[in-house]
Amino acid sequence: MTCSTGCRCSSEDDRSLMSNAQAMPSECAGRTGGTMRGITLAQLALMLCYPDEQFHSKLDGLTDSIGSVYPEALKPFKRFCELSKASSLAELEELYTRTFDLAAIASPYITGYIYGDENYDRGTLMACLSENYSRLGFELEGELPDHLALLLRFSSWLDEETLDELIEYCLREPVAQMCEQLRNSDNMYFFLLSAISAVLNSAQRGDSHK
């Protein structure tokens, strides 16, 4: 990174990250060259996308994959799985929209947490993110560059040093604030964000995969 300061996952991303979730660290990294932590964040990003008919089927493989590398993220992720499996697709869509879209309880756009909604620097950081995406050939899929799910997917494209910088400047505090906004609710996305926060605050596991 050279920064100074309803997301829908594509079917290609889903296939890459879910084709064999238990073997995912080496497989995904073979495509992106990322680290174990970046790949785990990209896996969790799949569940931050707008729910589709495959939403429930993604959960079990991710539970095994994430828990084997980041056990501190397993308890909140399992609770997220329990709550999501108890909901229909229509209910999941409604909850996603209420949480992240219309009159969002927890906006998924990280620059608002860093600078505030009206600060000019939001645009500067978004331009910086877009430049970094473009340089590596990472596609935005029509989403704004500061969407949390997009940044988490991008994490799997980065080496350890660059990922640490992205986490420090763009991810750790916004995710913590989103958790706080949902903490006293029964919203299942509190548990998903808590799992993401646990990975963000953990040490790197294993070597970078080139």
CATH number for 165: 1.10.3480
pLDDT (0 to 100) of residue 18? 45
Determine the residue type at 208.
Answer: S
Considering the domain boundaries, does residue 205 fall inside one? no
109 forms bridges with which residues in the sheet? 147
- Greatest alpha-carbon span in the chain: 43
CB 172 within 8 A of CB 200: yes
Which residues, at least 6 apart from 65, have a Cβ–Cβ distance to it below 8 Å? 21, 22, 24, 25, 40, 43
Q: How much is the pLDDT for 15?
A: 47
In-domain check, residue 1? no
Q: Is residue 111 part of a domain?
A: yes
CA dist., res. 170 & res. 182, Å (int): 19
Q: How far apart are CA 144 and CA 146, in angstroms?
A: 6
Contact call for residues 147 and 109 (beta carbons, < 8 A): yes
pLDDT of amino acid 60: 81
User: Structure pTM?
Assistant: 0.84
**Contact 144/138 with Cβ under 8 angstroms?**
no
Distance separating alpha carbons of residues 80 and 181, to the nearest angstrom: 16
* Share above pLDDT 70 across residues of the chain, in percent, rounded to a whole number: 81
Confidence band (pLDDT; 50, 70, 90) for 1? low
User: Residues 155, 37: contact at Cβ < 8 Å?
Assistant: yes
Q: Residue 206: inside a domain, yes or no? A: no
Give the count of domains, the chain: 1
137 in any annotated domain: yes
As a whole number of angstroms, the distance between CA 58 and CA 74 comes to 15
Per the domain annotation, does 122 fall within a domain? yes
Tokens for 138, please give them. 């990472």
196 occurs within a structural domain: yes
- Interatomic CA distance for residues 71 and 75, integer angstroms: 8
Q: Is the pLDDT of residue 16 over 60?
A: no
The answer to whether residues 76 and 191 touch, using CB atoms and an 8 Å cutoff, is yes
Segment 192-209 shows an average pLDDT of: 82
pLDDT, one tens digit per residue, over 59-115 is 888 988 888 899 999 999 999 999 999 999 999 999 999 999 978 899 999 999 999
Q: Which domain, by its residues, includes 58?
A: 11-200
Q: Is residue 45 one of the residues assigned to a domain?
A: yes
Rounded to an integer, the average pLDDT of 28-35 is 56
pLDDT number for residue 28: 42
What's residue 114's pLDDT?
Answer: 93
Q: Which DSSP category does 1 fall into? A: -
- Residue 194, pLDDT above cutoff 50: yes
Q: Say which DSSP state 102 is in.
A: T
